[in-house]
């Protein structure tokens, strides 16, 4: 009997790791907007699905889109720290006090496209050159396309911007359009349609994808394709939560983050933004204008002034800009 009992104990012991392995760590992911919003549908959801389908079974991510855990985009970073969510999509430009260095991406003319923007964002994070991230693990470092102006009023030249009330996505982009005579109004993208309906704003600086995703195309018919700089988005995880995870769970998150998530974002969002612009060009009810050569000197002067002013505000700004330009040169040299 004792030999049989010993064999039974060994069999039970062999089952223990399998039992533990079968119990994944559950993490809550918050997304402020609809599950059809392009950043979620074309990037974040695919990342969630990949982790949840991984054979290791170490992590299960429960996604809460549609603002189920909170609709206010500026509140998402604090929601992570408060434990309302373990992971969330964040727009650092809406909380500049928390992420002060991210304004460098808004500088007009710095970032040429989404791919190099994502590479620059990741390089600056890896070098620990961006303040505000110490309490988070960055599982996704996105970079928006360059912003344009989408308006309910006609814009045929840069002079038509003067006096317009325009929603901005960040302070530096706001300063750029202010130099062109605009009255900037900072607000999240999901408030734009209502604000236009009330007459609070005449236009918005944003990217093509957001125009469709937030219904802005229903209240605008004029697209002015001026390059206004960009801004980063991040998928952040509570660092304390990450550090508390079993090693198998950390390994699984690292397997897909940020590499797979960033690559998926660049591929799908670049294509989508291009498709939207082509759709707008083909729409007879819309007017799509690219700045004429006569407008370029004014745009260049405004861009150079904004960049110089930002760098002069703080020695840290100038240092960060120099390092960002050096990293961009390295990124472009690898193409």
Percentage of the chain lying above the pLDDT 90 cut: 88
Where residue 22 falls among pLDDT bands split at 50, 70, 90? low
Helix (H) and strand (E) counts for the chain?
Answer: 13, 11
Q: What is the mean pLDDT of residues 60-84?
A: 97
SS3 assignment, position 322: helix
Within this chain, do residues 160 and 102 fall inside the same structural domain, yes or no? no
Within this chain, do residues 61 and 109 fall inside the same structural domain, yes or no? yes
Give the pLDDT score at 3.
Answer: 55
User: Does any domain span residue 55?
Assistant: yes
Within this chain, do residues 99 and 211 fall inside the same structural domain, yes or no? no
The closest of 105, 92, 34, 22 to 67, measured between CA atoms, is 34
H/E run at residue 115: helix 114-126
pLDDT over threshold 80, residue 335: no
Within this chain, do residues 193 and 153 fall inside the same structural domain, yes or no? yes
The mean of the pLDDT values for the chain is 93
User: Does any domain span residue 260?
Assistant: yes
Within this chain, do residues 172 and 225 fall inside the same structural domain, yes or no? yes
Q: Which CATH number covers residue 120?
A: 3.40.190.170
pLDDT over threshold 50, residue 27: yes
For the stretch 217-251, what's the b/e string if a residue is b when 16 or more beta carbons lie within 10 angstroms of its beta carbon? Answer: bebbbbbbbbbbbbbbbbbbbbbebbeebeeebbe
pTM for this prediction: 0.86
Give the pLDDT score at 69.
Answer: 98
Q: What is the rounded distance in angstroms from the CA atom of residue 108 to the CA atom of residue 56?
A: 44
The string of pLDDT tens digits covering residues 236-295 is 999 999 999 999 999 999 999 999 999 999 999 999 999 999 999 999 999 999 999 999
**Which structural domain, as residue segments, surrounds residue 189?**
148-229+285-333
Q: What is the rounded distance in angstroms from the CA atom of residue 235 to the CA atom of residue 76?
A: 10
Domain count, the chain: 2
pLDDT over threshold 50, residue 17: no
Within this chain, do residues 223 and 154 fall inside the same structural domain, yes or no? yes
For the four alpha carbons of 9, 13, 14 and 18, in that order, the dihedral sign comes to positive
Give the pLDDT score at 171.
Answer: 87
Pairing of strands 165-168, 136-143: unpaired
The string of pLDDT tens digits covering residues 89-117 is 999 988 989 999 999 999 999 999 999 99
Give the pLDDT score at 2.
Answer: 53
Within this chain, do residues 203 and 268 fall inside the same structural domain, yes or no? no
H/E run at residue 39: helix 38-39
């Amino acid at each position: 009997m004792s030999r049989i009992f010993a064999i039974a104990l060994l069999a039970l012991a062999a089952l223990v790791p399998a039992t533990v392995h079968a119990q994944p760590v559950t993490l809550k992911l918050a997304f402020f907007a609809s599950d059809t919003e392009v950043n979620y549908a074309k990037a974040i959801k695919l990342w969630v699905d990949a982790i949840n389908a991984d054979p290791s079974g170490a992590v299960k991510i429960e996604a809460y889109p549609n603002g189920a855990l909170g609709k206010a985009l500026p509140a998402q970073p604090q929601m992570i720290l408060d434990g309302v969510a373990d992971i969330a999509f964040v727009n650092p430009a809406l909380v500049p006090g928390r992420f002060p260095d991210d304004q460098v991406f808004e500088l007009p003319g710095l970032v040429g496209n989404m791919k190099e923007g994502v590479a620059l964002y990741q390089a600056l994070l890896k070098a620990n050159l961006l303040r505000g991230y110490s309490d988070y693990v960055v599982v996704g470092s996105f970079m928006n396309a360059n912003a344009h102006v989408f308006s309910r009023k006609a814009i045929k030249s840069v002079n038509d911007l003067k006096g317009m009330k325009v929603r901005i996505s960040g302070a530096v982009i706001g300063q750029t359009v202010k130099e062109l005579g605009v009255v900037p109004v900072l607000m999240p993208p999901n408030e734009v349609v209502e604000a236009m309906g009330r007459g609070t704003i005449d236009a918005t600086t944003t990217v093509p994808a957001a125009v469709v995703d937030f219904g802005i195309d229903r209240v605008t018919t004029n697209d002015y394709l001026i390059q206004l700089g960009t801004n980063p988005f991040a998928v952040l995880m509570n660092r304390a939560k990450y550090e508390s995870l079993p090693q198998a769970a950390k390994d699984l998150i690292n397997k897909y983050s940020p590499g797979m998530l960033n690559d998926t974002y660049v591929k799908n969002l670049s294509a989508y933004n291009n498709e939207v612009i082509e759709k707008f060009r083909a729409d007879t009810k819309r007017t799509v204008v690219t700045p004429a050569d006569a407008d370029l000197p004014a745009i260049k002067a405004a861009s150079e002034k904004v960049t110089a002013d930002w760098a002069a505000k703080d020695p840290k700004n100038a240092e960060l800009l120099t390092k960002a330009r050096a990293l961009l040169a390295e990124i472009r040299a690898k193409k």
